[in-house]
Amino acid sequence: MTPTSNPPPGGRSPSAPELSNAASNFALRMSVIDCATDAALDRTRDRHGRTVHPAAAEAARARRDKAAAEAYRTHLAPHAEALLGVARLVLDELPPAQHLAGWQAVLDGLHATTVEIHRILERPMGPGSEEERAQHAALWPHLTVWADHGYIASALVDQRAVGQHQKNPLPDDERQKWTDMAMAAQRRGALELIESWYAADGQPITLAYLVEDDESIVVALRGDPGAPGWRVIGHYEHEYEAGKDLPAPVPPGVLRPGLSRHNRPAPAPEMSLQDLLRDVVEGRSAGDVSNALLGAVQRGYAAGPMVRLQELVETSSKFASALETVRGRQVAGRLSALGRQIEFLIREVNEAAEDLGATVAVLPPHRTPVVRVRPRPAVDTSPPVPPPFAGMPVRHR
């Protein structure tokens, strides 16, 4: 398999939408491959996440590597270099913003990855051979770079088509009038935020419903709605009209820059809360229940559910803080406090579990099991008719 990086002699250059779609189609195909591989790898693990069929797991990864290489050849190889070229031109045209240096680094990384992919594919291998499998395995980490970060190049190319500026800005006096109306509505709780994004200049834009005289109007705000200084830059009948007028969104950021959706570490073995609860219900001695409780608060590689819950809350606190908004920081503080409370609860459960185990006690024999034997119906009887669906209670959310 050899890559094709340039259009054929005499052929037309691909349009911006074609270049953008090339990266999008490759990322979509990689997501499909990744989901199929995850399902195949799940079948090679036991209920606690340990791999028990290593040969099947290796075969699943080999199929993944081959499918990813084919997806690159089909969707991205003919357009990768042209896509990066247009993306660099658009990047140079954008107004100064804090995120541009990071985007430049992403484009440089995609270029280096493309060069490495071409180097690996320089020597064609026999179909189905061990050499081809090794080649596909060597390609996988480079293909995932495009799958994880190619959307930056695609978004830059899209910026050229959709525009970076508001098409119909409001006059200063009208902008101030609507800003005063929106601030008054916010004070009385009649400003409902519905959507937010960042423009190419790094400024946040938020759509909101402004309720005035029992009528709902869509307004666009520039700035943090939770902090002083924001202003209304447009008002519209509906969100679609707003989307056509306002600056196009740029891709949002990430919480941890070094993570990859396609190269996640193998899941750590863990005991579910349902399994621990079953151990308690089926336990006979205090030690059985003590072990279940200790499993819930176990730390380290195979951390228990309560420790995982603390990690979830604390990581969510970091996410809320990373939003860099007033309300985000407020929520981050609440989540951080909840994380500390869970930490206290973990210590209490751990001490209670150890005290329970130290009792060295078992359930008294008078707590005897109950034999549940269902009587067999007579041969000439018919099974009971289930009640009609109309008579079943309706569950409301």
Q: What is the predicted pLDDT for the residue at 381?
A: 65
Q: What is the predicted pLDDT for the residue at 301?
A: 87
Predicted confidence band at 36 (pLDDT cuts at 50, 70, 90)? very high
CA dist., res. 234 & res. 291, Å (int) = 61
Tens of pLDDT, residue by residue over 324-348, are 999 999 999 999 999 999 999 999 9
CA dist., res. 314 & res. 335, Å (int) = 7
Q: What is the predicted pLDDT for the residue at 4?
A: 42
Q: For 228-233, which contacts have Cβ atoms below 8 Å and span 24 or more sequence positions?
A: 230/179, 231/175, 231/176, 231/179, 232/170, 232/175, 232/178, 232/179, 232/181, 232/182, 233/166, 233/169, 233/170, 233/175, 233/205
Mean pLDDT of 202-229: 92
Alpha carbon separation from 217 to 172, 208, 234 (Å, rounded): 19, 8, 11
Predicted confidence band at 162 (pLDDT cuts at 50, 70, 90)? confident
Q: What is the predicted pLDDT for the residue at 395?
A: 43
Query: How much of the chain, in percent, has pLDDT values that exceed 70?
Result: 92
CA dist., res. 209 & res. 43, Å (int) = 47
* End-to-end C-alpha distance for the chain, whole angstroms: 54
**Does 55 score more than 70 pLDDT?**
yes
Choice between 213 and 137, residue whose per-residue pLDDT is larger: 137
| Model pTM score | 0.84
**Does 245 score more than 90 pLDDT?**
yes
Tens of pLDDT, residue by residue over 163-179, are 778 899 999 999 999 99
Closest Cα to residue 139, out of 79, 62, 40, 58?
Answer: 62
Tens of pLDDT, residue by residue over 117-158, are 999 988 888 888 889 999 999 999 999 999 999 999 999 998
204 forms bridges with which residues in the sheet? 198
Q: Which of 163-177, 240-254, 311-325 has the highest mean pLDDT?
A: 311-325
Closest Cα to residue 292, out of 351, 343, 353?
Answer: 353
Predicted confidence band at 280 (pLDDT cuts at 50, 70, 90)? very high
**Does 394 score more than 60 pLDDT?**
no
Closest Cα to residue 199, out of 253, 248, 153?
Answer: 248
Q: What is the predicted pLDDT for the residue at 276?
A: 95
Predicted confidence band at 1 (pLDDT cuts at 50, 70, 90)? very low
Closest Cα to residue 320, out of 310, 305, 339, 334?
Answer: 334
Predicted confidence band at 3 (pLDDT cuts at 50, 70, 90)? very low
Signed CA dihedral, 110, 114, 116, 117: sign only? positive
Look up tokens 């990066």; give the residue.
84
CA dist., res. 208 & res. 216, Å (int) = 10
Instruction: Please state which of the ranges 48-57, 186-195, 264-273, 349-358 shows the lowest mean pLDDT.
Output: 264-273
CA dist., res. 191 & res. 295, Å (int) = 47
250 forms bridges with which residues in the sheet? 198
Choice between 107 and 166, residue whose per-residue pLDDT is larger: 107
Mean pLDDT of 16-22: 88
Q: What is the predicted pLDDT for the residue at 237?
A: 92
**SS3 labels along 222-256:** ECCCCCCCCEEEEEECCHHHHHHHCCCCECCCCCC
**Does 181 score more than 60 pLDDT?**
yes
CA dist., res. 142 & res. 117, Å (int) = 7
CA dist., res. 313 & res. 335, Å (int) = 6
Predicted confidence band at 252 (pLDDT cuts at 50, 70, 90)? very high
Residue 62 CA to its chain's centroid (Å): 25
CA dist., res. 120 & res. 125, Å (int) = 11
